[in-house]
Structure 1
Amino acid sequence: MWEIRLHGRGGQGAVTSAELLARAAIAQGKFAQAFPSFGPERRGAPVQAFVRVDDKKILKREKIYEPNMVMVLDPTLLDVVNVAEGLKEDGTVVVNSPQANDELKKKYSWPNVAAVNATRIAMDILSVPITNTTMIGALLKASGILEPADMEAVILDRFGPKLGPKNFNAMSKAYEVTNIN
Structure 2
Amino acid sequence: MKQIRFHGRGGQGAVMASELLCHALVREGNYGQSIPAYGFERRGAPLEAFVKLDDKPIRERTQVYEPDGIIVLDATLTTQIPVFHGMKQNGFAILNSRKKITLEEIPGNVEILATIDANRVALDVFNAPITNTIMLGAFASATGLVQLDSLTACIAEYFPQKIVEKNLQAVKRGFNEVLITKRTIPLQKVK
TM range (shorter): over 0.9
> Where do 5+ consecutive residues of structure 1 fail to align?
none
Q: Which residue of 2 aligns with 1:19?
A: 19
Kindly indicate whether residue 110 of structure 2 is the aligned counterpart of residue 108 of structure 1.
no
Q: What is the Cα deviation at residue 157 of structure 1? A: 2.5
CA distance in 2, matches of 1:126, 1:174: 13
Is the Cα–Cα contact under 8 Å of residues 101 and 179 in structure 1 kept in the other structure? no
Kindly indicate whether residue 168 of structure 2 is the aligned counterpart of residue 173 of structure 1.
no
**In proportion to residue count, which structure has more helix?**
1
Q: Which residue of 2 aligns with 1:152?
A: 152
Q: Which residue of 2 aligns with 1:140?
A: 140
CA distance in 2, matches of 1:71, 1:124: 21
Q: Deviations over 1:76-117 (max 9, x none)?
A: 111101100001111111000122231xx3333352311011
4+ residue runs of structure 1 moved beyond 3 angstroms?
none
Q: Which amino acid aligns with 2:79?
A: D
Q: Which amino acid aligns with 1:106?
A: E
Q: Deviations over 1:28-73 (max 9, x none)?
A: 2210000101143321110000001112211222111111110000
1:16 is paired with a residue whose SS is helix
1:115 is paired with a residue whose SS is strand
Q: Which amino acid aligns with 2:138?
A: A
Q: Which amino acid aligns with 1:50?
A: F
Aligned residues: 179
1:93 is paired with a residue whose SS is strand
Identity %: 40
Residues 22-31 or 76-85, more deviating = 22-31
- TM-score (norm. length: structure 2): 0.89
Q: Which residue of 1 aligns with 2:47?
A: 47
Q: What is the Cα deviation at residue 145 of structure 1? A: 1.1
